[in-house]
Amino acid sequence: MKERFKEYEFYSAGLAPMQTHSMDPRSIKYLEEHGINKIIHNPKKVSKKMLSYFDYFIAVDTFILRKLNTIYPKYSHKFFLATSHIDNVHLIDPYEMNDEDYRLAMNQIKSTSKTIIL
């Protein structure tokens, strides 16, 4: 998405990020297999500072979107579902999935990210 939307700054954060100082090893492996190397990412929790600063927040799934709207209703105009423009595609955050399902979910996320309209 960074290549498609050069005028935007991208940042990753979650509502309940992993309690570790690095990204999920499965994500690192997946990204490296797709030519994205030298990844530096520390899991972060969405903050009010982020909510004020960033223009958009892309939720991977409807559960996350509902939680964002419930916890931060003042910022609901900034939230949208990654698949809102695609019929019959429903992503799920792969964090708790087994390795095979994780890879399938990451492929869906990658495919969806290529079609997002900002």
**The two structure tokens encoding residue 22:** 């690095």
Identify the pLDDT of residue 103.
Answer: 92
Neighbours of 92 (CB within 10 A): 16
How many domains is the chain partitioned into structurally? 1
The answer for 47, left when phi > 0, alpha when psi is -120 to 50, beta otherwise, is beta
Strand partners, 56: none
User: 30-76: per-residue pLDDT in tens?
Assistant: 888 988 887 776 777 899 999 999 999 999 889 999 999 999 999 99
Residue 55: domain span: 46-113
pTM (two decimals): 0.73
What does the mean pLDDT of the chain come to?
85
Residues 6 or more apart whose Cβ sits within 8 Å of residue 116: 1, 58, 82, 85
Q: In this structure, is residue 17 part of a structural domain?
A: no
**The two structure tokens encoding residue 115:** 């079609």
Name the band, by pLDDT with cuts 50, 70 and 90, for residue 16: confident
Q: Report which listed range, 16-20, 71-75, 97-101, 105-109, is most confident.
A: 71-75
CB-based contact 116:1 (threshold 8 Å): yes
Q: In this structure, is residue 36 part of a structural domain?
A: no
Identify the pLDDT of residue 17.
Answer: 60
Identify the pLDDT of residue 18.
Answer: 54
Tell me which of 15 and 101 has the higher pLDDT: 101
Q: Which letter does DSSP use for residue 101 in this model?
A: H
Q: In this structure, is residue 34 part of a structural domain?
A: no
CATH number of residue 63's parent domain: 3.40.50.2300
